[in-house]
Chain A
């Protein structure tokens, strides 16, 4: 097995792991982590497409590489927005969870201080 195939298999496993975390973990921060994990798994799978497109003296196809670079930056921007939303939720409501029971226990509808 080549290192490229191995990298792709890791990518596939990461997508599975990330998807599980995204669904099963109730805390928003954990969901953000899981989503990023999933995203990097997709990048890795794309990375082996680049590696298998090695030609013309290059060790990997530059087009997928450039797209992955763009992807990493966009993923960061999205994570930053998501993290700031969670922090704002925590600030406004004193907790940062999407669990329904936890919200039911709050005295008001969670509007909290501004």
Chain B
């Protein structure tokens, strides 16, 4: 049983790391701010989401698990709105911003 939980954690967290890597590659490769923003938000949502998923079965209590999910949800909200806000700022000033 323990082994199964470990395998699940390793798979989910490993996939999360992959999305973080993908996001960074996007940041490095994409030519303009708006597409870099796009790459960034993908890393945020999926990367952290999968890591939280992998850590969930390891949490000590139900409250701790709920907190993990709340953290992920808050980061979703922050990522989505911050991307909107920064994106608007970019558009307002043209590509130089």
Please tell me whether chains A and B touch each other in their complex, using a CB distance cut-off of 8 A: no
**Chain B residues in contact with chain A, CB under 8 A?**
none
Listed in ascending order, the chain A residues whose CB lies under 8 Å from chain B are none
